[in-house]
Each structure stands twice: as structure tokens, then as C-alpha cells.
Chain A
Amino acid sequence: MPDARNGGSAPAAKIGVYVCHCGTNIAGTVDVRALTEYAAGLPDVAVAREYRYMCSDPGQELIRRDIKDCGLNRIVVASCSPLMHEPTFRGALIQAGINPFLLQMVNIREHVSWVHTSKQEATTKAKDLVRAAVRRVRLHQPLEKRRVEINPSVLVVGGGIAGIHAALNIANSGKHVYLVERQPTIGGHMAYFDKTFPTLDCAACILTPKMTAVGSHRNITLWTYAEVAAVEGYVGNYKVKVRHKPRYILDDLCIGCQECVEACIYKEGRWADEFNFGLSKRKPIYLPFPQAVPQKVLIDPEACIEFKSHKCKKTCVEACGERKAIDFNQRESFDEIEVGSIIIATGFKTFDASRNVYYGYGKYKNVYTSLEIERLINASGPTGGEIVLSDGGKPKMVGIVHCVGSRDHNTNRWCSKVCCMYSLKLAHLIRERTGAEVYNFYIDMRTPGKGYEEFYDRLLDEGVHFVRGRVAEVTDWPVHPSEKGKLIIRAEDTLAGFVRRIPVDMVVLSVGLEPQADARDVRRLFNISCSEEGWFLERHPKLAPVSTFTDGVFIAGACQGPKDIPDSVAQAGAAAAEAMALADAKYVELEPYTAHVIDEACSGCKTCLTICPYTAISFVEETKTARVNEVLCKGCGTCVATCPSASIEQNMFEDQEIFEEVEGLLAYA
């Protein structure tokens, strides 16, 4: 049948139909033989074949050979979802020398054999779908993919261990990296720790070299106390607006000598030190922690007198002297950068232990979270590494409660993966430093990593008590004389089979990991998705854990799901590799499913401009018509449907093509 649009001068369509068995996946439910015979009888079908695995080499060879030998110019493949093998079959068409868009795939697996049990119904449906595809594919036209260049620079959002590792990797390959971190220093959660499991490496010793490398790397632009404010663009061509929060310190001039802090009007700290979770106090002008990168102070405007009364003596400015690095008039500022890809490594937050009322956090004095204990243990923490009770005494009995805010339908359903290991680590450190009796209350001991089970073995040797039972409550109500003055942990010792009450001096709550509080807002900035629980969504949990459904945006580390440092670093490396692969490929090809305006028909009503969710349409003053930017266009079809004069068409989804397909479906006879 002649091609209707060309007025009958185009060559006649010669269609090849290929039906895949997919082993028994399709053939088990669809009568593939009957389907193939039916297809052979359809108009314009020159060849119809069936094969066990069409995606395999011999399968594709069938297509290639037929194109060459029989002069086929349109192909229909009835198999699995195009998401699986459309590129494979398009590749076969290219190899055989014809345009890859002269292909139509019919999904007779996910849409037919996987959702039907009756062979008769399934086969009938498959026949309808193939018939529709055959009618449609006649109208396919050759199309070309468009290329866009990739900007080799990369933006890394988040300066924890994952962000740092990714940034260093990319910077070492010669590409430029912008590392944006919202805290005044990089380092993330790892900077709080004293030792890391299972090797008991000092966290600061392994982290700070990487931090300083970032701070001094010539290919890294480090912006701390900054946040991403807006993102525009598409893969390879992102325009990002970064907001710098005012430190009231001139970055280039401050050398981190801290004489201003010494000289501050307040002789003693009075505000809760955030880095030590309120266990110590700081002044209004402060360095976040001793190994901070960048090594620059900042001023807290809520605490500093100058901001409240404008009458401070400003001894800090005096101490700064000739450097003049303090600027009380600093305002927030913005930077606009252009990058080709973005890696999001924004990390996690810990569960708020006060949500579990029965554990007494915030109510009883010696109940701490694991992060608070890390600070107590850390030599640069509030007590210089001494593990002490709130009254300064040494604890003789310590209870560590696992699964606080994890594996619990009342709070978070998931397992936070790292808490068993860090609870074991804390048990070891507490025992080592204080000699106290340590009790770990767990449900399951999850130690899956390399060296982790061996670490557990070590703890078992050290005399730590393990009680298998989820803690029901922490109370100060003594029932037995030995419990007076202590905090009593009440749990069933499930392995022994009875309830136990264990009096301790200090309770450590092993809090679970949660997505950051503003994860759902941040994800919108970058146009990616979150899973149901709030972690950033990866493209595929097994095969694509660091890419997202938005090309050019990658995720790495705990923001994708709870994980330990080795896994965060591995993911950071993976994300860096993907970003580098994108940059080295130098260009990316875009699918041609785009819309275009037929100038002669366009009335200039501008309805499509506001409708486009990707702001891909602009108005051309000279011709008074709309124009679609094919690079920004995502092929959603909204403008096509909206245009009142039907003057926008979309490649691969032209009106005639759709009508033919519909009529094909309805033409059951």
C-alpha cells in the first residue's frame, strides 16, 4: 500500500514480523506458532518468523539477513518490553543498513504472557497487538538522534566521605569539580567518630588527609556554608545557582589563627556547641571543630552581641588586626555555575531518640545517643576523651540498646545496617576506656561485611554481655535494693526465656539512620525521585545503584539508603566513574521523540508556551510562531494535544500513526 503522506510515490512497505518465544516466558502462555502464521497473513508482511530468543545473536542475525535478502524496510518485533531490548533491535537494523526508527516493538511478555493465564485469550490479544503494530509501522519515517555536548565539569553536593571521595576522583582525572557543602566545614558524619569499625582506625586520621586534599586541590572549587538554590538544564548542560550563607568572615583573608575566638567578649562559651551535640558550649565566633576544612571561623548572628545591639567592643576585629577578615555587613551571595553532571551525596540524619518515649532520652540524665557517646569518646570532644556520666563520675555498668528507631513499624521499618557494628565498636571502646561492664541488647546481630563477623568474635572474647531482647523500657524505679540510684533496663532475655532487669549507670541508644529532613525538597531541586521511605531513588536497585531516572544526576552514599563507610566510598567511586564516562564521551545522543511546530499552521496563540513542563517552547518574534527546543523537549506530548490548531506534531507519535494503530486494534474479524 503506498505511503499516504507522500501521495503514493514512496516504495511499498515490506514488513518483517519476528515473534520471540523468550524460552517459555512467552511461549508458555502465547501460542507463538499461531501468532506467527497469523502475522504472515497480514497485508504488507513479507516475512514472519518465530525464534526462541530474539535478543540473542542468532535471533538478531535473522533480522539482519532478512533485511538484506528480502529487502525489508519495516520491522516489527513481538517480544518483551522495549525498556529491555529496543536498543538491541535498533542496533540490528543499523547493522543491516536501515534507519533504526523503522522498528516497532510489541510487548507480548509484560503486557500479555505475564498477565494472562488463558492461552486462548493471550494469543488473541497478542494477535490484536501485532496487527496494530503492523499497520502503524508502515508510517514510520527515518529519524536521526540529536547530539548534545557534555560539559566536563561536575557538581558534587555534600561534603561527607562520599562527596569528598567522588570529588577527589574526578579532580584527579583533570576535570573541574565544584563541591558544595551546607555545613561550615566538610567531613560529614565521619568527622564526629573516634574510631571506625571493624579495624578501629582513627576516623580523623583517615578522613583529614582527604579533607585537606580537597581543600588544596587545584581542580576543586570548595564552597562550604553554601547550598544549591536552583538547577536548570539537562544532561551535559546544567546551570546551577549556589547560595552562599554569610559567615561574616572574608574567606580569602581568614587564616584560621582563632585569635578572634580567644579575644571574644564572652570569656566562656555559652551556646550549645553543635559539633558536640550540646555537650559543650561555644562562643558566638567559633571554629566548628579543630580539623575543620576550610580552617576558617564563622559568626553565629543569633548569639553575637554586635548583631543584636550594634554596640559591641568588637575585640575580635581588634585581634584580627591587619588581616581585617571580619565583615559584619556580609550578606548572602550567589554564584552561577555550568556543569555537565551532578553527584548528590547529601548523607543521612540520625533518628530522634526522644520519639521513643519509653527509653527516657531527654528525661533521664545519663541516657545518650550513640553520636553523643562518640563525642565523649573522641579525644577532641567535650571531655577530652573521658567517658563520664553527667555528674562527672565514671560509669561502672553501661547498657547499649540496639535498633532504636529501626525495624519498627511505629517509627522506621527498615534496618539501618550500621548500628549493630557501631554498637559493637562502642562496646569495645567503652570497655577499654572505663573497664565498665557493658551489656548489648540486640534482636539480631547483623555483621555482614568484610571482617565484621570477626570483629563480633573479638567482642565475644572481651567479656561484653549480649542479651538478645528488644528493650521494653528504661526506668529509674528500683524494685530490688541493688537497683537504687541506677537506670534499669527491662527486656526479655529471649534466649534464656525470661524477663530481666539490668541496672546500669549509663544507657547508650543506638539510633538508626534516616533520610535528611529536607530530602523531599532537595530531590525536587534536582528533578529526581525519592523512594517511599524518603531515600533518593536509584535507577535500578541491583544494576544501577548510583544513577537516577534523570540523566546526568547521580547519587552516592547514605542519601541513597543506610550504609557504612566502605559502601559509601564505593558508591562515590561508582558515581564519579559514571560522571567521568559521561564527560569523556563528550556528547550524548538524545532520543528523537521530540515535538516540532509546523510554522504554516501555527497561529501564534502561545498556548503551548505555558503548557510545556520543561519550558522547551519559545516564541519567535519574526515569524510570530512557536518553536520547540528539541534538546530540552522530553517528548511528553502535552503541547501536541493542547495546540488548538493542531500545528504541533511529535516524531514517532504522529496522528496518523496513532490512528492506524488504534484501527488495527479494533479491526478484529
Chain B
Amino acid sequence: MELQRVVKFEAERDPEFVRWITQTVGGERIRHCLQCGLCSGSCPLSLYMDYTPRRLMHLSREGFKEEVLSSYTIWLCTCCYACMVECPKKINITHMMYALKTRAIREHFYPKRFAIPVLAREFSRMIRGSGRITESRLVMRVFFKTAAWRLLGFSKLGLQLMRTGRMRLGREKVEHRADIVTLLNAVDEMKKELAR
């Protein structure tokens, strides 16, 4: 029997995390959460989560950053808005999940070769480079960077897609590719300005 002593001291709370989540888009009303559990009850993915959405909301507003950013919850969330539609306090839960996901990716709170952050990164890389996504190329890039052997399992599907003309191999791109880069850089620039 492996015993573990768990008590949470105030020093373990991260006040910056609390400030950040209450100021993030959608987090303004997080203090209104009644902990009623309707979000978890409506969420189709909550069955798999280690911390249900409701629990995650409370952990977030109390500043338990480690638990929150290393939870499975933020990766399982598909941002389907089922929780928001029902929430009796009209809290923008979905947008907070986006914010937590972004922060977890940025601060590397995920296991090695984890598919979701790899997908996010490859997606953004492809957009920066071409302005549009070529699905087939994106899928292959992600698989190669995570679990290349799984591609074999998809070979039948891949052939079906090719047969029905649904797999484009040529690169989809916009004309003004430089514009996309300028656009994205301008955003980063302005973000830094505002942070100051």
C-alpha cells in the first residue's frame, strides 16, 4: 500500500496563474462558478478526464497551476461548447480551455511525442509557410513526429481516400504568402507592445 501525504499549503498556490486566468478572455466570470457540475455532466469527453471540467475551473481559480496544466482534461476537450450552452452562470468555459491548452503548449506541460501539441505546432507551421492546410501532408507530418508506426494502420483509409480523389498531395497555398508572415509577425509585435 503506497501511502501519499497530501495537504496543500498556500505557498503552493500561484497568484500569477490566478491573475492570468481571471483576466483571460472568458475568465472574467470564473469566480461565479457554483460548482454545480452541469458542465461535466454535459461534456461528452468528461468520462475520460482525470479532473472534470468543473474541478478544473475550481483548481484554476484557486491557483493550482501544476495540477491544471498537467491534467488530461485540457487535451481531451474538443471545444464543442456543450458546457457553455448549459452553464447556468454563463461562464466561458470553452475559451478558458483554449487558454489553458495554449499555455500548456507554451510551457511544455505535456508528455514527449504527445500528438496534440505536435499537431498544433505543425498546423501553425504549415499556415505560416503556405497560408492553407493540405490535410494529407499535415497528417503525415504529425504521425512522423509522434508514432510513425501508426500510419500503417491508416494505410487502408489512405488508399480509400486516394481512390475517391479526396487526398490532395499537391501543396495548397495562397498567392500572397509573405502577407501571412507579415500578418502573424505584426500580431506578435503588438502583443509585446501591450505587455509593456
Contacts and interface: CB of A to CB of B under 8 A. Distances in A.
B38 interface: yes
B54 A494 contact: yes
B72 to A, nearest CB: 13
A409 B33 CA distance: 12
Contacts of A443: 34-37
Contacts of A668: none
Interface in A384-428: 403, 407-410
Given A497-B52, A497-B55, A499-B46, A491 B88 contact: no
A307 interface: no
A472 interface: yes
B41 A469 contact: yes
Contacts of B54: 492, 494
A33 interface: no
Contact of A409 (B40, B41, B47, B89): B89
Contacts of B42: 358, 472-473
A418 B35 CA distance: 21
Given A497-B55, A498-B52, A499-B47, A491 B89 contact: no
Interface residues of B, number: 19
Contact of A492 (B34, B37, B88, B90): B37
Contacts, number: 68
Contact of B41 (A403, A444, A490): A490
Contacts of A469: 36-38, 40-41
A470 B47 contact: no
Given A492-B46, A497-B55, A499-B52, A468 B88 contact: no
B34 to A, nearest CB: 6
Given A407-B34, A499-B52, A492 B86 contact: no
Q: Select the residue from A409, A410, A470, A499 with max chain B CB neighbours within 10 A.
A: A470
Contacts of A473: 41-42
Contact of A494 (B37, B86, B87, B88): B37
A408 B88 contact: yes
Contacts of B38: 469-472, 491-492
Given A470-B41, A473-B42, A494 B35 contact: yes
Interface string B19-55: 0000000000000001111111110001100001011
A471 B41 contact: yes
Given A469-B36, A472-B38, A472-B42, A492 B89 contact: no
A493 B35 CA distance: 11
A5 to B, nearest CB: 60
B88 A470 contact: yes
A416 B45 CA distance: 32
Interface in A329-373: 358
Contacts of B86: 358, 410, 472
Q: Select the residue from B35, B37, B55, B87 with max chain A CB neighbours within 10 A.
A: B37
A505 B37 CA distance: 23
Interface in A514-533: none
A471 B35 CA distance: 12
Contacts of B47: 499
Contacts of A491: 37-38, 41
27 contacts: A407-B34, A408-B88, A409-B88, A409-B90, A410-B86, A410-B88, A443-B34, A443-B35, A468-B37, A469-B38, A470-B36, A470-B41, A470-B88, A471-B38, A472-B41, A473-B41, A473-B42, A491-B37, A491-B41, A494-B35, A494-B37, A494-B55, A497-B52, A497-B55, A498-B52, A499-B41, A499-B47
